[in-house]
Amino acid sequence: MNIEPIATVRSCFGSKFATPRQPGLCPSAWGELIFHPPYRNADSIRGIEGFSHLWLIFGFHVTLEQGWKPTVRPPRLGGNERVGVFASRSTFRPNGLGLSLVTLEGIDTTSPEGPILQLGGIDLIDGTPIYDIKPYLPYAESVPNARSGFADQEIPRLKVEIAENAQNDFNKLPPRAQNLILEALSLDPRPAVQTHHHDRSFGATLCEKNIRFAIMEGTCLIIQITDSTALS
């Protein structure tokens, strides 16, 4: 069976770094699902407006060429303990496919690229290929008492502060972009092996901005905000 993408996502996340590892962790995140021309047909989404959430089957296009691994080191285990790839949500999978539950915020039918699905709470990098869309059905798919294995605890969040020299640039951002940046950085996007590095800064591309930050003693400090086309 050969499959091809039906759509591509335009996302507020410009790179893999700082993109949340699961959907819903950054409620302010947003994106647009742009159908490819063969599937750009209003009839194909007729009735979808009645659903609040959608399942997206997508491709891990950034890591696909690295191939799959039978065991991986989940960040939830500190990057030190290995589990089977099928007991994880790692990107290094045989078929390079992922599953994401997103909010359907609206449908743009006026754009020349329309219909465009407007999404919220996403965990998808800009340019992510979409292979299928299915509506979420709470009566069949919600499992309140499900076990979560090694991921049974909520992800701890950092306190996020803004340095005085970056405050003005932060204030210029739209409120949703401000919230998204705070949510994403509170999740501590650093690789587990680098969480002990307190003497260096990191950069993330969020909302078409380069966000420079440092983390120390449970606090993330935003130290610089520049346009994503500028060097930081």
Mean pLDDT of 98-117: 96
Q: What is the pLDDT of residue 199?
A: 67
> pLDDT, tens digit, for every residue of 37-51?
999 999 999 999 999
Domains, the chain, ordered by start = 7-141 (2.40.30.70), 159-227 (3.30.2310.20)
pLDDT of residue 126: 96
Are the C-beta atoms of residues 187 and 155 closer than 8 Å to each other? Answer: yes
Rounded CA-CA distance 87/16 in Å is 21
Task: Pull the structure tokens for residue 50.
Answer: 């009645």
Q: Which tops the pLDDT comparison, 52 or 151?
A: 52
Cβ neighbors of 171 (< 8 A, separation 6 or more) are none
pLDDT (tens digit per residue) in 171-227: 999 999 999 999 999 999 988 655 565 668 999 999 999 999 999 888 999 999 999
Q: How far is CA 192 from CA 86, 95, 187, 196, in A?
A: 20, 25, 12, 8
Instruction: Flag the least confident range among 20-24, 66-70, 155-159.
Output: 66-70
Q: What is the pLDDT of residue 138?
A: 95
Quickly list DSSP for 161-176.
Answer: EE-HHHHHHHHTS-HH
